[in-house]
Structure 1
Amino acid sequence: MVSNNQLFHLFLFLCFFQISCLHAQLCTQEQSSALLQFKQQFSFNKSPADDFCDYYGIHSYPKMESWKEGSDCCSWDGIECDNRTSQVIGLDLSCSWLNGNIHPNSTIFYYFPHLQRLNLAFNDFGMSRISSEFSQFTRLTHLNLSRSSFSGKVPIQVSFLSKLVSLDLSYNYGLRLEDPGFELLVENLTKIRELNLREVNISSVVSNSLLNLTSLTHLDLSWCELFGKFPDGIFHLPHLNELSIWGNLALTGYFPEFINSSSPLQYLVLSNTNFSGELPDSIGNLKSLKKLYAARCKFYGSIPTSLGNLTEMIDLSIRYNNFTGMLPSSLSNLGNLVWLGVGGNNFEGKIADFLPNVKSLLYLYIGSNNFGGPFPTLGANLTKLVELDLSNNQLTGPLPSQIIGLPNLMSLSLGDNLINGTIPPWVFSLPALYYFNISSNKLTGHLKDFKSTDHLSVVDLSNNNLHGRFPSSIFKLVKLAILILSSNNFSGELDMLCHAISLQILVLSNNRFNGAIPQCLGNFNIYFFVLDLRKNNFSGTIPDTFAEENSFKTINLDSNGFEGPVPKSLENCKMLQVLDLGHNKFSDKFPYWLENLTSLQVLILRSNKFHGPIPNSKLKFPFPILRVMDLSNNYFTGPLPRKYFENLNAMMNVDEASFELKYLGMTGGSGLAYYYNDCLTIVIKGSTIEMLKVLTIFTAIDLSKNNFEGQIPQIIGKLNSIRGLNLSHNSLTGHIPTSLANLTMLEWLDLSSNKLIGKIPQQLRNLISLEVLNLSQNQLIGRIPQGNQFDTFLNDSYIGNLALCGPPLSSTRSDPRTPQQEDNTCCLSGFNIAGLWMWAGMGTCYGISYVL
């Protein structure tokens, strides 16, 4: 039985214990004040980093808003205190909406000597530098600065944090780790278990000191610009679970041998490196491997059957390598497989011979190989498939009806095969389908009306033999964003187009569509980017209804029967890059207000009924980034547009070496993975060419077949990055400007069928890129320049002039005189031509006979 005295002592103990606990939970006034001062450095606004918080399942909110003066800082959001010492030992401000810079003299660096864990990930520190004062946290074991907009050089003092077991500096664009920082970091962090430097610019060989980090479990050096040979020993670190060196394009190596099955590797990423060689049979010993990504490398040879031993495998990607042969049937043993990508290789055989018939498979990418035979029979267990890509193979036969048994299928890519027959209506009614591409096959017949779900967003039926009236029901799809029907024989009008309220890209080129464009065209969807109606039978005028808030980037109406004026509301298309109205019946003056479209790169008005002079621009910089101007085959008059030649900056001083080779076009918006290439029909080097892709560095001016008059201005020599210039078939007079010699990138020059006089400037020999020259049908005289490209041009380049002489003309004359005699006579008669004709007018037979 407990006495009253014992109960009293027990009560005193409990009171003391409670008071002690309460006291231990209170942080010091010094640390509380320091944290509140730290708070004052930031504003709190959501940033793009917060989207990643949602992706990773982290709740995003401004944690610092709970920090109030007079309250215990150990109770604040993101603060962890030691219950015994009351010291702050953990600070987690990830996904806290922080906007601002961390100053080197910030209070946080000087009042928290016991800090062990610091997480500032997913914030916006304004591309500021990482302070060297982070080294004050000498007890730090975990440091996470991922996705927080840090930049500049990683201070070498970070390597002094020798107690770190986890360091994450990933996804900070512009952050770099210069020598000897990488070497010191690896040498000093001997206790490190997780090291993530993804997208930190290291620009170095891989340090062999990594082999000493025997505690490593996670190593991510992706996109670090590493080069040289990757040490094989890193693959064999005893505790390594995850290794990623993705995106180091200059990093070499081979897939290592795994002699025994004790490797703990579960996640291995080698994609987008320069790794090469064959996959060894010992790959089958990686019993723990769950994810293998080895896409876009230089691996070759056949796939070992031992790959089928990796029964824990969930994701396998070996796309875009040089693998050959047949895929082993042992892949069907991978019963846990969710993602399989073998596309972009040289595999052959029948798909059915290896197709893994596993219930878990969601994503199957086997396009761009040499698989043949009939469309494969999809096993009954593949009903969970979400994406199926069989494109760019040699599959034959019609679409099998069993596809209708894939209720979860969202993406179906069957383009570039030999599939024939018709498109059954049930394809469009697959309940989850949002992407359907069966372009470039041998499909025939009519497309029947169909009922569809609300998901279908992308439909590409281009390059087939489909014909007949296109069913209007497709325009009723509420989410239809991309519709590509080019190069078929579809017909009918677009009367239902206004129902397609979600359209972003519409490509109907090379068909037989007719009628007028609906009035709703310019204002029914703010996100309408591409309208491509070229090579059809459309007619009527273009609706003058383009709204101020529109997103058009390409409008291509080439080769139709459109007429009337160019709608003035096109001036509202501020994002327009390509405008092609060629080969129609437009009758209008030059639409000078197009100069206001500062994004315009291509303007084609060729083969219409445009007329009158091109007025002198009142803008300071008209057409600032125009690359292609084609006004040919119209009725323009007056002088050449000198002001444009002065200001076409995209054709001047272009450093092509610094340009990334890209094509004009765009991707589908709203996350739709689709690319549209702009196509142009243009005269290049005397031949009409349909350019299916247009490099952004392509530049040309074609003003031919008009009634331009006056001289060619010297200022045209500023366009030193232009590749093609055609001023032929006009009424231009005067001399050929010597400034044309500045156009060193020029590949073709056509000044034929004008009234140009004088000599061919000898300076034009500097045009070493010139492949086609046409100066015929003018009034030129004198000796033809010799040397460089002029030695390659034939007689057709010069015929129809008054008195040109020299090769190649001498080699085509039937006159038995020697070339030197021919040259002297021609040049003499050319020099005195005015005087000789005067003598002829006075009846001087000698002069006439001399000329003859």
Structure 2
Amino acid sequence: MALYMESGDLGIWMWNPTWIGDGISLSIGRPTWFNACECRRACYLHNANQETIHIYQEMKLVFESYEWWRVETKKHAYMNVLNLLKDHKDEQSKNDQKKRLLKSLHKKAMLINLKNLISINATSFELRCQSLLGSGYHPILMNWNTNIDCCNWDGVTCDHFTGDVIDLDLSCGMLRGTIHPNTTLFDLPHLQRLNLAFNDLANSQLPRKIGNLSKSLTSLNISGCGFTGQIPSEISLLPKLVSLDLSWNGLVSLEPRIFNNLIQNSTLLRELLLHHVSISSSLPTFLNISSSLTTLVVGFTGLRGKLPDNIFNIQNLEELDMSGNEGITGPLPKVNISVISRLKRLGLSSTRLSGKIPYSIGHLNSLNTLHLRSCGLMGSLPKSLVNLRHLTTLDLADNMFNGTLPSFLFTLPSLEVIELSYNMFSGSLPSELFTQRSLKKLYLSHNQFDGRIDVLDQGSIRQTFQQLLNLTALDLSNNRFTDIGNNNFSGTIPHVCGEELKGLILNGNQFEGEVPSCFSESEQLEVLDLGNNRLNGEFPDQLGRLPNLKLLVLKANKFTGAIESSSMIENPFHSLRVLDLSQNEFGGHLPRKYFQSFDAMKNVVKDGKNTYLGLNVSISISRGFYSVVVVVKGQQLSFERISNDYTIVDLSSNNFEGEIPNEICSLNSLIVLNLSSNNLNGQIPHAIGNLSEIESLDLSGNQLTGKIPQGLADITTLGVLNLSQNHLVGRIPSGGQFNTFSTSFEGNSGLCGFPLPKHCEHPSTPPQLDADEDKEIGFTWEVVMLGFGCGTVLGLAIGYLMLSTGRPKWFNAIADEIEHMVQRRQNKRR
């Protein structure tokens, strides 16, 4: 029986024919090329270009073997059918192996092509990624070893049965570069999830090739990558898409038409995150969105108009964030009580809403987070808020709410964070406030609270704070409590340390005594502000052991003594970014040891985001803000927001003496340095120019001598400079901002030159060296002048001799010889 086979299958086999009578028996063995391929795969070079070449060479060999099989099959048309049927199962298995190999080679080539186009480097999101991943933060592509199956690479997940790449997670991968429009990244036909979040892919645009994944893609995340340009319309033609995150790409825009298609026609889409993506669209009166959508984040997108009437009753919607759209106006719509709302998180902060919070908001009984900060809302808080039994965070700061603080707020069993700063609340604080055991953060600053706080009398203050077991931040500053002045708390600071304490602000009271030693046990403490009190004693150097302390303010107290640490704490205050010890009575030398260990003030990496430090008198630690007052040129300037990369050292108005140590010049990320009104002497360090980020420098009111270093004039960031009331001498350096500092040099009688009216007497005279520098060089100006005189006399004598001979033959001979040498060189060049 004859059987003719010609198939498109990529089976590649070695046939061993043996004769049995009139027929041919064919046995099927292990393909010889298989072992060869395995050997070749083990020999891939690490160079990316060579890796790609080898993969395609291997694929070429596979297809050449396939052509050989087709020819051999035609030569031996007569085959034993029984043997073929017997071995059919084995053939199928081997065919599957070969298909998987080809597929592996193909997908590996596409991923290596991506690797070739992207470099590996720390990005501006390094701090964010480190906080998210901890020790797991590393450059992903560096572990892409081509000697192993790409399904085992970091960030790559394959289907267990088919071997197809279905998940590519390169988030926080330290990637830097530009995604090319023709990248092979979107040629993986079975890719379901793609995550490129928090890499530096600046100036990249989302290619139209994203449409190639229309049959498979369910999740796309390119947040925080620096993408630019228009999002292609193909993004709305991905029918299987469940999650789409384009957030934090400030130069990306989305056409309103595409936006509407996404929210209305994507039947499987559950999460749509477009924070900081430009949409610039007007809101409709009635918002029609897909019933599948549960999360809609469109903050800072340029949306405008009044909120749709049904905004709080959209079916299945659990999270809605429209914060930062200042074009959103009008009152908050009423909640339709006939429709069950699933809304859990609502954010409308930094909009231009008006009016009161409607009573019907109490029907959003699934709500756990409510952010209405900076909206322009007014009136009293509705009693219906008591129905929000699942509420954990209530942020109503920076509005015009008034009336008394309702006690029912502190009966909500899950409430952890209350932010009501910068409003017009008045009256006394309810006693229920101090019995809310779930409360973690409470911010009531800048209101009009008055009267007594009965539970905070001196006899029970410690016991009261101890009842708030989970409290980590409390701010009651800038109110009108009658018996305690400007919050005028008196007595000693209560022992509210606790292991979970992250921030404590007791600024502007009348606390006395020393700083409690228990603070050194609060390892989570980030912000400690005890300024403007009556505290005394020595500097609390035990705080240097706190690993997370970022801000320490002890200004305007009565501390005394030296602050040079004598303890054995290794690397003290290494996380500190703001230190304010001004207006005390500290003395001795400036603390060299501390300056050496202020690691957080050196080589600060800018994270590219508006993240802020610690907690604020008005704004919460969860928001990352803190306000601080710094003295600049004798004026108190308030920094309302201290960002995470902002660094300040203020030691002004104390009794420090001695020279300014060179160690302070190693703080090359320092923004504000104030050492004014002390007794410092000596010269300004020449290394002061290393403070390349400094914006404000105040050394006034000391006993500094010598010249102003030129390096100071070379700092381009310097905007405020005060060197007045010292004993500086010499010409004022020129360059940079120095020409604009007209009053910065007053009270230094030895200074001259612009911008002072006093002219320097000998502008051409070489600058005078210091005595120690003269010795190092090895000569003095007396020697120079002596040599100059001798040379003059000798020159006059030789000139007289030449003229008296009538013909200076020896001089002419030398000149002729030089001319002859020049002529010969010119002839050679020709």
1:154 aligns with 2:155: no
CA–CA distance in 1 between the matches of 2:358 and 2:580?
A: 48
CA–CA distance in 1 between the matches of 2:721 and 2:600?
A: 23
Q: CA deviation at 1:535?
A: 6.3
CA–CA distance in 2 between the matches of 1:356 and 1:552?
A: 36
Q: CA deviation at 1:426?
A: 3.1
Q: CA deviation at 1:541?
A: 0.8
| Aligned partner of residue 469 in structure 2, secondary structure | coil
Look up the match of 1:465: 424
- Is contact 1:416–1:441 with CA below 8 Å preserved after alignment? yes
| Aligned partner of residue 324 in structure 1, secondary structure | coil
1:368 aligns with 2:324: yes
Look up the match of 1:244: 220
- Is contact 2:721–2:741 with CA below 8 Å preserved after alignment? yes
Equivalences for residues 52-451 of structure 1 within 5 A = 153-156=143-146, 172=154, 175=155, 195-199=166-170, 205=180, 216=190, 218-220=192-194, 222-223=196-197, 228=204, 230-235=206-211, 239-240=215-216, 242=218, 244-247=220-223, 249=225, 265-267=239-241, 269-272=243-246, 297-301=252-256, 310=265, 312=267, 315=270, 317=272, 318-328=274-284, 331-332=287-288, 334-335=290-291, 337-353=293-309, 355=311, 357-369=313-325, 370-379=327-336, 380-450=338-408
- Is contact 1:243–1:269 with CA below 8 Å preserved after alignment? yes
- Is contact 1:198–1:224 with CA below 8 Å preserved after alignment? no
Look up the match of 2:541: 592
Q: CA deviation at 1:422?
A: 0.6
Q: CA deviation at 1:657?
A: 5.9
CA–CA distance in 1 between the matches of 2:390 and 2:319?
A: 14
Deviation digits for residues 789-810 of structure 1 (CA, Å, limit 9, x no counterpart): 332221x322223433322222
- Is contact 2:586–2:656 with CA below 8 Å preserved after alignment? yes
Look up the match of 1:712: 660
Look up the match of 1:797: 744
Residue 256 to residue 340, structure 1, CA distance change in 2 (3 Å): same
CA–CA distance in 2 between the matches of 1:582 and 1:560?
A: 8
CA–CA distance in 1 between the matches of 2:621 and 2:526?
A: 21
- Is contact 2:263–2:290 with CA below 8 Å preserved after alignment? yes
Q: CA deviation at 1:464?
A: 1.0
Look up the match of 1:691: 639
Give me the identity figure in percent.
33
| Aligned partner of residue 757 in structure 2, secondary structure | helix
Residue 309 to residue 514, structure 1, CA distance change in 2 (3 Å): same
Look up the match of 1:677: 625
Residue 330 to residue 303, structure 1, CA distance change in 2 (3 Å): farther
Q: CA deviation at 1:252?
A: 6.3
Residue 642 to residue 414, structure 1, CA distance change in 2 (3 Å): closer
Residue 423 to residue 158, structure 1, CA distance change in 2 (3 Å): same
CA–CA distance in 2 between the matches of 1:589 and 1:274?
A: 47
| Aligned partner of residue 418 in structure 1, secondary structure | coil
Q: Which moved more, 1:461-470 or 1:202-211?
A: 202-211
Q: CA deviation at 1:637?
A: 2.7
CA–CA distance in 2 between the matches of 1:253 and 1:212?
A: 22
Deviation digits for residues 626-657 of structure 1 (CA, Å, limit 9, x no counterpart): 333322212223333344344444444x2546
Look up the match of 1:504: 472
- Is contact 2:503–2:615 with CA below 8 Å preserved after alignment? no
Residue 649 to residue 734, structure 1, CA distance change in 2 (3 Å): same
TM-score in terms of structure 1 length: 0.62
Residue 635 to residue 270, structure 1, CA distance change in 2 (3 Å): same
Look up the match of 1:279: none
| Aligned partner of residue 428 in structure 1, secondary structure | helix
Deviation digits for residues 739-777 of structure 1 (CA, Å, limit 9, x no counterpart): 434434333332322333444445544444433332322
Deviation digits for residues 330-362 of structure 1 (CA, Å, limit 9, x no counterpart): 643745554444443222222235637444343
Matched residue type, 1:581 = L
Matched residue type, 2:254 = F
| Aligned partner of residue 353 in structure 2, secondary structure | strand
- Is contact 1:252–1:273 with CA below 8 Å preserved after alignment? no
Q: CA deviation at 1:569?
A: 2.3
Quick one: higher RCO (CA 8 Å, sep 6+), 1 or 2? 2
CA–CA distance in 2 between the matches of 1:397 and 1:648?
A: 48
CA–CA distance in 1 between the matches of 2:741 and 2:198?
A: 51
- Is contact 1:218–1:240 with CA below 8 Å preserved after alignment? yes
CA–CA distance in 1 between the matches of 2:137 and 2:531?
A: 49
- Is contact 1:389–1:413 with CA below 8 Å preserved after alignment? yes
Give ranges in structure 1 of 5+ residues lacking alignment. 1-86, 88-112, 117-146, 161-166, 178-184, 277-295, 517-533, 812-818, 829-852
Residue 590 to residue 306, structure 1, CA distance change in 2 (3 Å): closer
Residue 739 to residue 765, structure 1, CA distance change in 2 (3 Å): same
| Aligned partner of residue 587 in structure 1, secondary structure | strand
- Is contact 2:239–2:266 with CA below 8 Å preserved after alignment? no
Residue 747 to residue 275, structure 1, CA distance change in 2 (3 Å): closer
Larger radius of gyration: 2
- Is contact 2:285–2:307 with CA below 8 Å preserved after alignment? no
Residue 544 to residue 350, structure 1, CA distance change in 2 (3 Å): closer
- Is contact 2:541–2:565 with CA below 8 Å preserved after alignment? no
Q: CA deviation at 1:490?
A: 2.1
Q: CA deviation at 1:685?
A: 5.2
Look up the match of 2:563: 614
Q: Considering only aligned residues, what root-mean-square deviation do their CA atoms show, in Å? A: 4.7
Residue from 474, 478, 490 that aligns with 2:433: 474
- Is contact 1:556–1:579 with CA below 8 Å preserved after alignment? yes
Residue 688 to residue 350, structure 1, CA distance change in 2 (3 Å): same
Q: CA deviation at 1:582?
A: 1.6
CA–CA distance in 2 between the matches of 1:692 and 1:772?
A: 18
Look up the match of 2:11: none
Q: CA deviation at 1:470?
A: 1.5
| Aligned partner of residue 332 in structure 1, secondary structure | coil
Look up the match of 1:631: 581
Q: Which moved more, 1:600-609 or 1:357-366?
A: 357-366
- Is contact 1:303–1:323 with CA below 8 Å preserved after alignment? no
Matched residue type, 2:574 = P
- Is contact 1:681–1:688 with CA below 8 Å preserved after alignment? yes
Give ranges in structure 2 of 5+ residues lacking alignment. 1-89, 91-96, 101-135, 457-463, 769-830
Equivalences for residues 660-809 of structure 1 within 5 A = 662-665=611-614, 674-684=622-632, 686-762=634-710, 764-794=712-742, 796-809=743-756
Residue 195 to residue 649, structure 1, CA distance change in 2 (3 Å): closer
1:539 aligns with 2:498: no
Q: CA deviation at 1:598?
A: 4.3
CA–CA distance in 2 between the matches of 1:805 and 1:595?
A: 43
CA–CA distance in 1 between the matches of 2:653 and 2:712?
A: 24
Q: CA deviation at 1:423?
A: 1.0
Residue 419 to residue 645, structure 1, CA distance change in 2 (3 Å): closer
- Is contact 1:303–1:328 with CA below 8 Å preserved after alignment? no
CA–CA distance in 1 between the matches of 2:481 and 2:610?
A: 34
Q: CA deviation at 1:542?
A: 0.9
Matched residue type, 2:306 = K
Residue 673 to residue 428, structure 1, CA distance change in 2 (3 Å): farther
- Is contact 1:329–1:355 with CA below 8 Å preserved after alignment? no
Q: CA deviation at 1:469?
A: 0.7
Matched residue type, 1:410 = N
| Aligned partner of residue 800 in structure 1, secondary structure | coil
TM-score in terms of structure 2 length: 0.64
Residue from 498, 510, 514 that aligns with 1:565: 514
- Is contact 1:750–1:773 with CA below 8 Å preserved after alignment? yes
CA–CA distance in 2 between the matches of 1:432 and 1:587?
A: 45
| Aligned partner of residue 537 in structure 1, secondary structure | coil
Q: CA deviation at 1:152?
A: 5.0
Deviation digits for residues 407-462 of structure 1 (CA, Å, limit 9, x no counterpart): 32222222221221111333134233222222222111112322734222222222
- Is contact 1:217–1:239 with CA below 8 Å preserved after alignment? no
- Is contact 2:632–2:674 with CA below 8 Å preserved after alignment? no
